[in-house]
């Protein structure tokens, strides 16, 4: 079994090649018609008013924090996230403040936020781990309103995920998505940032292209950058959007199989609760034995584990560790050291999940 296996059938390839030919015929290779069409379609898919296509998910985070103007301000982030969340705050001139997570869906803890919010706090980033929107986000949103803070969603994993029928991208002021190769939908490399506020969208569009003035392209109003994508990436993204619902459904079917197979055992399978519908970028399982034992047994059966979310929390990352006074994050430390993410990508079949579960159950015996 492969760790990941992205497949494109002949009709998909033919359609992509036709779009590539149209790009050459048009003569514009970047930031043109297909990019605009992709942005419109992605906004529609996420049920938001606006979206901007950017070079990657990290760029989406950087762009959003630039819009929020967090320079010299504190930004509260979960300690359990990819390093990009932390680095984006630093690059925007903000001060990242690490918070422990809640134990249900491993997102930022509202109780931790209440302890660490100060008069210098400007924003909170909530990360939708593994493609699940944690119910904790409702408490976080209330705290943002109470303290007049901006809520920014790191939705790199959460294309199409919902909580109480509210789609990722509609809980905060804006949301950052990743379209990297392994994500729920891909452009090879790429990302999106979504909005429901026109003013934020317009500023984001300017920042994406060197802070360019919308009235005069040779004048620059903001300290922006170059976060644009090519027409070829947009072409792939448009075709991915045509099949994304089907692929998310397949991930959900596979995840349900994990849950059904391991129900009644000591393997804690993270699944949807009432009101939530995850996109299952990752299937998260808390095993009753060490991750090392699980990995060894699966490896002997020819089954790889995919990357965790995450194996090392931020306070254990060398680039972060020395700058911290507080290194006590017990919930994140326990989760990061003690979870696994077995394969759960759409190219798998139910029989593959059964094989994985048979090995997992045998480890306990």
In this prediction, residue 297 carries a pLDDT of: 96
Buried b (16+ CB within 10 A) or exposed e, 335-363: bbeebbbbbbbbebeeebbebbbebbeee
Provide the pLDDT confidence category of residue 7 given band limits of 50, 70 and 90: confident
CA distances from 153 to 125, 126, 318, 346 (A): 6, 5, 25, 25
Residue range 27-65, pLDDT digits in tens? 999 999 999 999 999 999 999 999 999 999 999 999 999
Structural domains of the chain sorted by starting position, each given as residue range(s) with its CATH number in brackets: 10-239 (3.40.640.10), 244-364 (3.90.1150.10)
Q: In this structure, what token pair is assigned to residue 94?
A: 């903000």
CB 345 within 8 A of CB 250: no
Between helices 350-364 and 291-300, what is the axis angle to 10°?
A: 130
| Per-residue confidence (pLDDT) for residue 365, from 0 to 100 | 63
DSSP state of 129: G
Q: What confidence score (pLDDT) does residue 181 get?
A: 95
- The tens digit of pLDDT for each residue in 131-162 reads 999 999 999 999 999 999 999 999 999 999 99
Residue 64, helix vs strand vs coil: helix
Q: What is the DSSP string of 194-214?
A: EES-HHHHHHHHHHHBTTB-S
Q: Give, as one character, the DSSP assignment of residue 23.
A: H
Asked if 58 contacts 180 with a C-beta cutoff of 8 angstroms, the reply is: no
> Residue 210 has what pLDDT?
92
CA–CA separation, 308 and 154 (whole Å): 17
Question: Distance (Å, rounded) from C-alpha 306 to C-alpha 293?
Answer: 15
Q: Is 242 helix (H, G, I), strand (E, B) or coil?
A: helix
How long is the chain?
A: 365
Q: What is the CA radius of gyration of the chain?
A: 21
**Among the listed residues 62, 184, 73, 59, the one whose alpha carbon sits nearest the alpha carbon of residue 128:** 184
pLDDT band with cut points at 50, 70 and 90 for residue 203: very high
Cα gap 196→168, rounded to integer Å: 12
DSSP-derived secondary structure letter, 71: T
Q: Can you list the positions of beta strands (E) in 299-338?
A: none
User: Coil, strand, or helix at residue 27?
Assistant: coil
Rounded to an integer, what distance in angstroms lies between the CA atom of residue 131 and that of residue 249?
13
pTM of the model: 0.96
Average pLDDT, the chain: 96
Confidence band for 308, pLDDT divided at 50, 70 and 90: very high
Other Cβ atoms less than 10 A from the Cβ of 180: the count is 16
pLDDT of 298 over the 70 cut: yes
Which residue is associated with the tokens 């596979």?
Answer: 254
Termini Cα distance of the chain: 23
| pLDDT score recorded for residue 218 | 87
């Amino acid at each position: 079994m492969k760790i990941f296996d992205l497949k494109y059938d002949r009709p998909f390839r033919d359609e992509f090649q036709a779009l590539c030919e149209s790009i050459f015929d048009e003569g514009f290779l970047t930031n043109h018609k297909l990019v605009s069409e992709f942005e419109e379609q992605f906004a529609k898919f996420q049920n938001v008013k606006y979206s901007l296509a950017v070079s990657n998910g990290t760029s989406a985070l950087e762009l959003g924090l630039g819009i929020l103007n967090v320079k010299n301000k504190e930004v509260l982030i979960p300690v359990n996230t990819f390093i990009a969340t932390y680095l984006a705050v630093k690059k925007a001139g903000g001060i990242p403040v690490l918070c422990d997570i809640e134990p249900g869906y491993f997102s930022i803890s509202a109780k931790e936020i209440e302890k660490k919010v100060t008069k210098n706090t400007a924003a909170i980033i909530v990360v939708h781990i593994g493609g699940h929107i944690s119910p904790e986000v409702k408490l976080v949103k209330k705290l943002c309103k109470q303290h007049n803070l901006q809520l920014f969603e790191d939705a790199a994993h959460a294309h199409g995920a919902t909580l109480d029928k509210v789609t990722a991208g509609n809980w905060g002021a804006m949301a950052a998505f990743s379209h990297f190769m392994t994500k729920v939908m891909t452009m090879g490399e790429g990302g999106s940032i979504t909005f429901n506020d026109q003013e934020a969208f317009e500023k984001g569009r300017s920042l994406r292209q060197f802070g360019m003035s919308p009235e005069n392209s040779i004048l620059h109003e903001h300290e922006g950058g170059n976060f644009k994508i090519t027409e070829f990436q947009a072409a792939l993204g448009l075709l991915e959007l045509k099949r994304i619902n089907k692929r998310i459904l397949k991930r959900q079917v596979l995840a349900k199989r994990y849950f059904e197979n391991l129900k009644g055992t000591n393997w804690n399978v993270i699944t949807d609760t009432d009101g939530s519908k995850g996109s299952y970028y990752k299937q998260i399982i808390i095993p009753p034995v060490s991750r090392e034992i699980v990995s060894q047994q699966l490896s002997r059966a020819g089954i790889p584990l995919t990357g965790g979310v995450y194996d090392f929390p931020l306070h254990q990352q060398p680039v972060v560790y020395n700058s911290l006074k507080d290194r006590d994050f017990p919930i994140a430390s326990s989760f990061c050291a003690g979870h696994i993410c077995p394969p759960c990508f759409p190219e798998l079949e139910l029989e593959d999940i059964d094989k994985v579960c048979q090995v997992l159950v045998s480890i306990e015996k």
